[in-house]
Amino acid sequence: MTALTNLLDSLRQAAPTERDKGTRFEELTLFYLRNEPSYRELYAQVWSYGDWAAEQGLDQRDVGIDLVAQTAATGEFHAIQCKFYAADYKLQKSDIDSFFTASGQKPFVQRIIVSTTQHWSEHAEKALLNQQTPVLKLELFDLEKSQIDWSSYQLAQAQQVPILKPQKVLREHQQSAVKKVVNGFKTVDRGKLIMACGTGKTFTSLKIAEQVAGSGKLV
């Protein structure tokens, strides 16, 4: 059991109804998107749908969208749905139909489905394809690898200061690899990083990408 799975179990036990359980997971997801470093850079603001709709002068009733985020760079809006299921539940297309209907129109340019299950039905998976408004999945694995220390999250505390895990630091051989690759890209536009198993190739590659493109950017 990880800190996050323990937290989700506590959330399930503390919620008296399914509706309350969903609301608590929405609050957790809101906390994640506001405080996870990569999303904190991406978004200028993240609201509950009701709060966002009120600011926009729109109907605040539930239409299938749980959260709304606004990008810092462009001011565009992303629609977010939070699905709090058992880890072995298979998500069905009917579970996301109302979200697709509500978010498939302006002003939304991106959709995100945050779910605690990695199991999707064939019809649900196919529904993600060829959408005019693209869909990103965030699953339990993504929340697990967050820099947020989930053991510090307080269920009953509305406003809380995030505690982040200590950041990894490049080892000497990784620093050398980053320096060589970055220098190499000054004369060529592609290359291949070869490192022995267990020496941190993935982490090194991430740091190279940050140096080349900048933190939070796509490579």
Q: Specify the DSSP class assigned to residue 19.
A: H
Check: CB of residue 22 under 8 Å from CB of residue 84. yes
pLDDT: is 116 or 199 the higher one?
A: 116
Continuous segment of H or E residues that includes residue 78: strand 77-83
Number of neighbours of residue 18 by Cβ within 10 angstroms: 9
What are the φ/ψ torsions at residue 30 (nearest 5 degrees)? -60, -45
Give 69's pLDDT tier (boundaries 50, 70, 90). very high
pLDDT tens for each residue of 47-56: 999 999 999 9
Domain 3-152 class in CATH: alpha beta
Q: Copy the structure tokens of residue 154.
A: 């307080």
Check: CB of residue 138 under 8 Å from CB of residue 115. yes
pLDDT of residue 152: 92
Residue 148's DSSP bridge partners are 164
- Count CA atoms closer than 13 A to 75's CA, side-chain side: 0
| Single pTM value for the model | 0.75
Crossing angle between the packed helical segments 201-213 and 172-184, to the nearest 10 degrees: 40
pLDDT tens for each residue of 186-215: 888 888 888 888 788 887 888 888 888 765
pLDDT of residue 13: 92
